[in-house]
Amino acid sequence: MSLEHEANNWLRHRFGRNVKFDEPMSKHTYFRIGGPVDAFVVPQSQKDLIDLIIWAGQMQQPYIVIGDGTNLLVRDAGIRGLVIMLTKCLNKISRLNRGDDTTIISAMAGARLQALCKFAIESGLEGMNFAIGIPGTVGGGIVMNAGSAAGSVEGVLDSIEVLLSGGERLTLERSQLVFKYRNLSLKKVAPNGDLEKTIVLEGHFQLRPSDARYLKKEAREMLNKRRTAQPSNYASAGCFFKNPASGKTAGELIELAGLKGKRVGGAEVSAKHANFIINTDNASAADVTALMEIVQETVSQTFNIELTPEVKIVGTQA
Ligand SMILES: Cc1cc2nc3c(=O)[nH]c(=O)nc-3n(C[C@H](O)[C@H](O)[C@H](O)COP(=O)(O)OP(=O)(O)OC[C@H]3O[C@@H](n4cnc5c(N)ncnc54)[C@H](O)[C@@H]3O)c2cc1C
């Protein structure tokens, strides 16, 4: 089912070539998987974005905001409503002067996390290197509390600006944010705890002065380590499952359960890193979820540990 004629017309008139109808989400996810969304909208300015959110509220159109789709599995039946991509309207990174000793970098949600890391290094500011090599946007990184063994967004985020579903802008200080493992909860502010409707507009990151040459060297080493450990030649959404709170990592458990190389259709448990499900040959979302369930059941039966996906699975159930 696609959008009503009237909704289609409004979107076409307001967004021109920046809206696409029945757009395959496989074009917008790192997994290269996903059925069509009714309307894929790329606002070119904050005003565009606010107008769209207010209109969607009035028309009761569901929407999902995405960054680079690096952590998304979109189901084969696609997404009803709108997908809004922020990379064209919110991509500035700048240094803020607050008039005290703290050094804050402001990064808009649609800017790349890697651009933020580079900006920090070139400014001789320490704190962002944990994110070296993590693909995606600043907004996605904040919402996912992205991180590595070296740290996570939680360690450096000072405050965020959000857009509520009614179009109001709000600043949330660090004390108002509830960080969890690979998740930021906005339950305190989002109506009905519905984060999908609350849009992160920008983040303010508190960093420390350091030596740019040292930071650059550290970043190079981290990137090399990542390239050696991860199956970067294949489409994926990064680590598929969250690591259990203690003990072995999800990857170690999957490997010990003998699942490396296990396949369903075009989806495969990577032989290089067992917590990566890779798309080796036009996998469908159904292939990936079937493989996910096999992994969950096998690990549960072998170790009595329940693995939960870190990847966000969205879209209509077929
Ligand atoms: C090869 C590879 C390696 C990876 N390695 C790591 C790693 O080491 N550590 C790690 O933590 N992750 C890793 N990831 C996962 C992913 O890169 C991160 O989760 C990233 O931060 C997601 O950013 P994104 O812009 O792509 O978000 P998306 O995938 O587009 O979205 C992720 C979620 O955030 C929501 N969202 C996005 N932007 C906004 C916004 N502005 N406001 C509100 N909601 C929003 C979306 O609706 C969705 O629910 C990896 C992924 C890949 C493909």
Q: What is the pLDDT of residues 85-136, one digit of tens each?
A: 999 999 999 998 766 667 999 999 999 999 999 999 999 999 999 999 999 9
Residue 182 known to be catalytic: yes
In percent, the amount of the chain with pLDDT more than 70 equals 95
- Is 116 a pocket residue for ligand 1 (Cβ < 6 Å)? no
Beta carbons of 104 and 206 less than 8 angstroms apart: yes
Chain segment 5-36, per-residue pLDDT in tens: 899 999 999 999 999 999 999 999 999 999 99
Ligand 1 center to 67 CA (angstroms): 7
Q: Is 211 exposed, middle or buried (0-12, 13-18, 19+ CB in 10 A)?
A: exposed
Beta carbons of 42 and 65 less than 8 angstroms apart: no
Mean pLDDT over each residue of the chain, to the nearest integer:
93
Distance CA 200, CA 182 (A): 16
| Residue with CA nearest ligand 1 atom 17 | 135
- Is 71 a pocket residue for ligand 1 (Cβ < 6 Å)? yes
- Our mutation pick for probing the ligand 1 site, out of 144, 153, 272, counting the most ligand atoms within 8 A of Cβ, is 144
| Residue with CA nearest ligand 1 atom 33 | 140
Report DSSP state, residue 199.
Answer: E
Chain segment 57-75, per-residue pLDDT in tens: 999 999 999 999 999 999 9
Confidence of residue 192 (pLDDT cuts 50, 70, 90): low
Catalytic residue, candidates 112, 182, 202, 268: 182
Ligand 1 center to 240 CA (angstroms): 12
Residue 174 known to be catalytic: no
Instruction: Tell me: pLDDT of 187 over 80.
Output: no
pLDDT, position 165: 85
Distance CA 146, CA 205 (A): 14
pLDDT, position 271: 96
pLDDT, position 191: 53
- Is 48 a pocket residue for ligand 1 (Cβ < 6 Å)? no
Residue 213 known to be catalytic: no
pLDDT, position 196: 58
Q: Which atom of ligand 1 is nearest to the CA of 31?
A: 53
Q: Is 29 exposed, middle or buried (0-12, 13-18, 19+ CB in 10 A)?
A: buried
Q: Which atom of ligand 1 is nearest to the CA of 226?
A: 8
- The tokens describing 99, both together, are 């008039």
Which sign, positive or negative, has the C-alpha torsion 222, 228, 234, 236? negative
Please report the domains of the chain, with CATH numbers, ordered by start residue. 5-85 (3.30.43.10), 93-229 (3.30.465.10), 250-314 (3.90.78.10)
- The tokens describing 10, both together, are 């409004």
Amino acid occupying residue 16: G
Catalytic residue, candidates 239, 252, 263, 297: 239
CB atoms within 10 A of CB 24: 17
